[in-house]
Chains A and B, each alone.
Chain A
Amino acid sequence: MPTTNRDNARNAAERVALHCEATSYDAATAEPLRIVALRIRGNRVLAGGALDLCPGVDGTPAEIAERLRRFLGDRPLVGYIVEFSAALVERLIGAPLRNERVEVSSLYYARKVRTVSKSAIDLRLDSLIRDLDLPVRAEDAHGAALAVAMAWLRLTQDER
């Protein structure tokens, strides 16, 4: 008798997978090129309702900030190097984000460290996708955000 109570309880809590593409990897100086955010609800990635923004192209800075603020709300942010993406979003919004942050590479590390010797854990996003067998290619911000969302689901589902 499979129960769905646990699933129902989870549905209440949404998360946002976030990925930023930028001119460099230095959060202090990098210029954001494209930001993709996807909501995760229950076992689903709401990819059809993705927020996909290119600063400077998709509206004024104020509009971009407002759309980001509304999309993220107070949902926990999930990302690959989430601090980097969050820092760029904070810069665009012009205010610090209080949202909880979840680092998928840390979840992945915590999972692998139980089975593999530490030195062998490859934390690159591509390797993580391959190892978790996710049907996605992180070749742009959209792919990376999808990969993050899927990886988060896979990594947390086994413990549910």
Chain B
Amino acid sequence: MFTTTPDTALHSAPADPGAFDFTRPPFDRLTAGEREGLSAALDLALHPKGGVVLGREEPVDALFVVLRGAVQERRGGEVAAVHGPGDRFGLQALYGGGRSRVFIAAEPTVCHLIPRPALEALARDNPEFGAAVLGNFAQRMTELAAERPAREMAALTMARIRQAYLHPPLFVDGGASLRDAADTMKRNRASSVLVRDPGPEGDGRIGILTGTDLRDLVVLDGRSVEEPVGPLARYGLLTLDRDDLLFNALVLMTKHAVRRVVVTENGAVVGLLGQSDLLAVLSNHSQVIGLQVEHATDPEDLRRASLSIVELIRTLHATGVKVAFIADLVTELNRRIFRKLFELLAPPELLANSCLIVMGSEGRGEQLLKTDQDNGLILRDGFDCPGLDAIVADFSRHLVAFGYPPCPGNIMVSNPEWTRPLAGYKDAIFHWIHRPDEAAQMNLAIFYDAAAVAGDPALLDEARGYLLGRLQDNQMFFTHFARPTLAFDTPSGLFATLFERRRAEPVDIKKAGIFPIVHGVRALALEKRMTETNTVARIWALAELGALDRKLAGELAEAFAILSTIRLKARVDSPHGEADGGLAIDNLVHPDRLGKLDHDQFKDCLALVKSFKDTIAYHFRLNH
């Protein structure tokens, strides 16, 4: 059946157009046997022009190598790279976790897929190949780390082995045969086994036997598979304690050119730490900041941790982590910092008899960059704390030093209006509801978003319960409350030409897009007496209740995410954005500076916001 002539066989013209190209590094480092094995393990993926090869949400289980066609790598709507035949992608998504990019077929495309287990097996068996494939990745992580300020690296070096994933130890007895060892590895999908051997003196020792050792022993040295592993395993293991620094593990692996170290706890082996697991932790330094906060002994430690959050946001954003995820993380870290600071400053009886709350965007968990402090303290009725004024003044002052600007409306614990007994809060709430003026409206809105950060959360629950209980089915009240949704103009995407002409004009994304969603949703949630505080959580809860059409809910949640992303991007990229190591609070978006995809999305989102505003206006009869 073969039609290949001797002529074409002699010249190394690609005989089979579907064959994997092993001339490209690092695949040229594979042995003939490994090439054969890899060829047999490959899957194929075909995508039509415009098809999503690798989306943000898809689980990545393979390394992609383009065989035919071209794949665009898009980041934030811009084409960041084009991958042609022989180029590979997907490794970062495979190991980095951060799914920044979307991969789109620029023309009909065929890709080879190297399944993750096959890639890892090759990397294990062929250290040179492994270093080239995974090493690039480690290199990139190192470079990324080097770009970070020194304080960030200092934080990185604090992480412990305990934070990393450990592979459970897999033991065989020294008397077991090489075949038994191979079988154990295969059954447990492990790349090595630990060997318990009585040792020459009979004092018991533990060694290691890896897949590479097995190959060398059996294939190269010609050992029989029946030989016992005891005398063949390698002893003198590299071990570290579980409480050792991860950084030491990295140093040890680099020094001895190994990919795993044995981890012990109280002298007993508890697992194996692999290089890729280690990198995963070091790259995820949010945990490190968290640790820094937990271990803080004075406000200065907290200030350092707080400053690294800005860097964290930058890094996460640069690696393309979704904004909703960044917001969750930053919210959690901010709250931990607030809690820890309050715990450092407040005497125990104050902690037990008060509840520190954050309000507004911080309460909704939508804070991305440091914006104004919106916080308060609810005291248990009848509790009197000597020196309270000084404590709360200190708290606000420290937060300013951490980079949270004071609230222009003075909604801070240092203001007695916001540090008062529960009964005082109830009075204020009564006033906000029954004598609504502009300030009362705003106070009510941000208090409705409050979240407890430190102290006794029951105090906030009671205050919120009081608020929801006092609300009457008073159309006038809700009409008033919802009205600010329409306060700012939203340039409409419906009049495309008008929009184009105004393209160069900056749009205040907060006023035109984000605030109308937040407040409109808040008004609907309040009307339904909901206790959720997060905007997206409220949207879905409203959809559950049938108060919001499911399709609209989905679109709103998506528009909210997109607008938040564009807003963050505008701030992170803002050239004049650096002030006190923070990022400028700039809500202006210049549509003409957006990439094509972002621009289109921005337009669609604004059009949706406009129609949502109509829905709200109709629902609350704002036009009457």
Binding site for B on A (CB under 8 A): 1-2, 4, 7, 43-49, 133-137, 139-140, 143, 146, 149-150, 153-154, 157-158, 160
Contact present for B52 and A2 (CB under 8 Å): yes
Additional pairs, 13, CB under 8 Å, beyond known A44-B43, A48-B40: A1-B601, A4-B57, A43-B46, A44-B44, A45-B46, A47-B43, A48-B43, A136-B17, A140-B1, A143-B16, A154-B46, A157-B46, A157-B51
**Contact stretch, chosen from B86-94, B110-118, B330-338, B500-508:** B110-118
Give the distance in Å from the alpha carbon of A143 to the alpha carbon of B113 in the complex. 17
Known: A4-B52, A133-B108, A135-B68. A43 touches B45 (CB 8 A): yes
Known: A2-B52, A48-B118, A154-B46. A139 touches B68 (CB 8 A): no
Q: Mark B1-20, 1 if CB is under 8 A from A, else 0.
A: 11100000000000011100
| Chain B residues near A149 (CB-CB < 8 A) | 44
B302 CB → nearest A CB, Å: 40
Contact present for A47 and B44 (CB under 8 Å): yes
Contact present for B1 and A135 (CB under 8 Å): no
User: Does B558 lie at the interface of the complex (its beta carbon under 8 Å from any beta carbon of A)?
Assistant: yes
How many A-B contacts at CB < 8 Å in the complex?
A: 71
Q: Mark B87-129, 1 if CB is under 8 A from A, else 0.
A: 0000000000000001010001010010100100000000000
Known: A4-B55, A47-B42. A135 touches B47 (CB 8 A): no
Contact present for A135 and B52 (CB under 8 Å): no
Give the distance in Å from the alpha carbon of A143 to the alpha carbon of B4 in the complex. 14
A37 CB → nearest B CB, Å: 15
| Chain B residues near A1 (CB-CB < 8 A) | 558, 601
Interface size bucket, B side? 20 to 34
B597 CB → nearest A CB, Å: 9
Contact present for A146 and B18 (CB under 8 Å): yes
Contact present for B45 and A4 (CB under 8 Å): no
| Chain B residues near A139 (CB-CB < 8 A) | 1-3
User: Does B581 lie at the interface of the complex (its beta carbon under 8 Å from any beta carbon of A)?
Assistant: no
Contact present for B104 and A150 (CB under 8 Å): no
- Complex A-B, nearest 3 residue pairs according to Cβ-Cβ distance, in ascending order: A135-B17, A45-B44, A157-B48
Contact present for A137 and B558 (CB under 8 Å): no
| Chain A residues near B108 (CB-CB < 8 A) | 133, 154
Give the distance in Å from the alpha carbon of A135 to the alpha carbon of B110 in the complex. 8
| Chain A residues near B46 (CB-CB < 8 A) | 43-45, 150, 153-154, 157
| Chain A residues near B102 (CB-CB < 8 A) | 2
Give the distance in Å from the alpha carbon of A137 to the alpha carbon of B17 in the complex. 7
Known: A48-B43, A135-B17, A137-B18. A43 touches B51 (CB 8 A): yes
B465 CB → nearest A CB, Å: 40
Give the distance in Å from the alpha carbon of A65 to the alpha carbon of B118 in the complex. 29
User: Does B67 lie at the interface of the complex (its beta carbon under 8 Å from any beta carbon of A)?
Assistant: yes
Contact present for B558 and A150 (CB under 8 Å): no
User: Does B201 lie at the interface of the complex (its beta carbon under 8 Å from any beta carbon of A)?
Assistant: no
| Chain A residues near B48 (CB-CB < 8 A) | 154, 157-158, 160
